[in-house]
Amino acid sequence: MVLIDEAVRLERFAPGDGFRTWSSGKESTASMFSSKGNLQERTVHLLSNRFLRTSQWMRKKLSPNQKVYFEILQSMSDDGRLWFVHGSCPCGRGARDTVVARRDRYGLPIDSVLCHDCGTVRLDPYFDESSLGVFYSEIYQELYGRSKDPVEYMERQRAYGEKILLNFESVLRSGQSRVLEIGCGAGGAIRELQQKGIDAIGCDYSRELIEFGTSQGVGNLICGTVESISITDPDTEKFDLIYLHHVLEHVGQPLATLERIQQLLKPDGQILIIVPDLFRVETHRISPSDCMELFHIAHKWNFSRECLSTLAGQLGMFAVEISPEGPRTAWTDGTEMWVSFQKEFDERALSGPCEGQGDRYLEYLCNAEQEFASRVSNSESLSKTFFSFVSIK
């Protein structure tokens, strides 16, 4: 058993190759954590050996620039500018957790923890709120390897803006509707909406991206979070649609963020949430069935549908999954889930957690890992090195 303080620094790793340097040579199989003064016992059921701290599995090599920002991340953790704290699942239940991975896709020593009540997988411990702001304003874009061509990046964004317009054409009317994007990047999607006559506003942490988008003629871009959006006239300035395109998985406190968003919404408005879908990982076009691809330090949450339904219920809303029409985008090469939060009941509304939900999701993830292993294990030595499985009865 290991007792960890509420606020912790990131364990030391080797940024030169992106792999964890583990001095003991042995990893514990169970951990006990301190969260807000309360002890919580966790089981450990790693999906395979490649999710060990000591694993040297990497799908692709890190660029020299990414390695530099790994070192910056570690340095900021060492000197106290970045802190990690333990938390709980946003479903509000979270009586039982299982650690399914002890590193992320970059080799960073951070645990992925599955909630047995709703199935959501979260990184824990994770940045506190202050550190999260520092991470996104100073490290994230470079560490993530964002395209260096801002024009190309904006075009990618334009494609999902077009897709949102297509799927919400019954809601969005030229010259009448107001839309807010949380985490708009350079505003490529915002520009697409504005060109169709929609009064669209966007906000983002990155001053560099906001300034670039503004220089390209995109209006109404704000550097900041949803807290930076103010309403002076609720009758005319609230929004018909507020969307978060691959953003909610990055947010430190999802419920608090959604509650603030709801305050900006018209009574009949909708919140559109688009997030990676860990529980359809077999459909990932780039790396099918590879759970490791979806475990990385920028994504605090891999939401289950049941968790999103619970969050919607906490807002007095219903969560309805959408099967979107429209063009492929850079994000659909992965796997994603579109869910609309709305006030009116819909028979397609997602249900909340049920007994045994987490166990079924854990079984799904273990089966996905075995499918991935059978696909990539081209030699007996590779299979023995990285893939060792535990059956779930």
Cβ-Cβ contacts under 8 Å for 60 (sequence gap 6 or more): none
Higher pLDDT, 206 or 19: 206
Is the pLDDT at 25 greater than 70, yes or no?
no
Domain spans of the chain, in order of start:
3-145+354-386, 150-342
Question: Could you tell me whether strands 199-204 and 221-223 are parallel, antiparallel, or unpaired per DSSP bridges?
Answer: parallel
Q: What is the pLDDT of residue 392?
A: 45
DSSP string computed for 145-214: T--S-HHHHHHHHHHHHHHHHHHTTTT--TTT-EEEEES-TT-HHHHHHHHTT-EEEEEES-HHHHHHHH
User: Which residues on adjacent β-strands are paired with residue 301?
Assistant: 122
CATH 3.40.50.150 fits 150-342, yes or no: yes
| Backbone torsions φ then ψ of 274, nearest 5 degrees | -120, 120
More confident residue, 332 or 195: 195
- 111 vs 328, higher pLDDT: 111
SS3 365: helix
- How high is the pLDDT of residue 393? 38
The residue count of the chain comes to 393
- Looking up tokens 């220089």 gives 215
- Name the least confident of 223-232, 248-257, 378-387: 378-387
Per-residue pLDDT at 147: 66
Q: What is the CA radius of gyration of the chain?
A: 21
Checking if the pLDDT of 34 tops 80, the result is no
Residue 210 and residue 226: Cα distance in Å, rounded?
14
pLDDT of residue 385: 53
- Amino acid of residue 290: D
- 81 within 8 A of 134, measured Cβ to Cβ: yes
- What is the mean pLDDT of the segment spanning 352-372? 91
What six digits make up the tokens of 229?
């959006």
- Three-point CA angle 226, 229, 234, nearest 5°: 120
Count of Cβ atoms closer than 10 Å to residue 341 Cβ:
25
Distance separating alpha carbons of residues 304 and 324, to the nearest angstrom: 18
Contact indicator for 127, 84 with CB cutoff of 8 Å: yes
Residues 6 or more apart whose CB falls under 8 angstroms from that of 90 comprise 120, 253, 254, 255, 301, 307, 310, 311
Alpha helix positions (H), 199-355: 207-215, 234-237, 254-263, 305-314
Average predicted confidence (pLDDT) for the chain: 84
Contacts within 8 Å (CB) and 24+ apart, 221-229: 221/184, 221/187, 221/190, 225/182, 226/182, 226/257, 226/260, 226/261, 226/264, 227/260, 228/203, 229/180, 229/201, 229/203, 229/264
**Which of 139-148, 233-242, 362-371 shows the lowest mean pLDDT across its residues?**
139-148
300 class by beta-carbon count within 10 Å (0-12 exposed, 13-18 middle, 19+ buried): buried
Q: 206-209: which pairs have CB atoms within 8 A and are 24 or more residues apart?
A: 206/136, 206/137, 206/141, 207/137, 208/141, 209/141, 209/150, 209/185
How far, CA to CA in Å, does 176 sit from each of 122, 168, 193, 229?
Answer: 39, 14, 12, 19
pLDDT band per the 50, 70, 90 thresholds, residue 386: low
Spatial CA neighbour of 350 closest among 308, 303, 302: 308
Residues of the chain with pLDDT > 70, as a percent, come to: 84
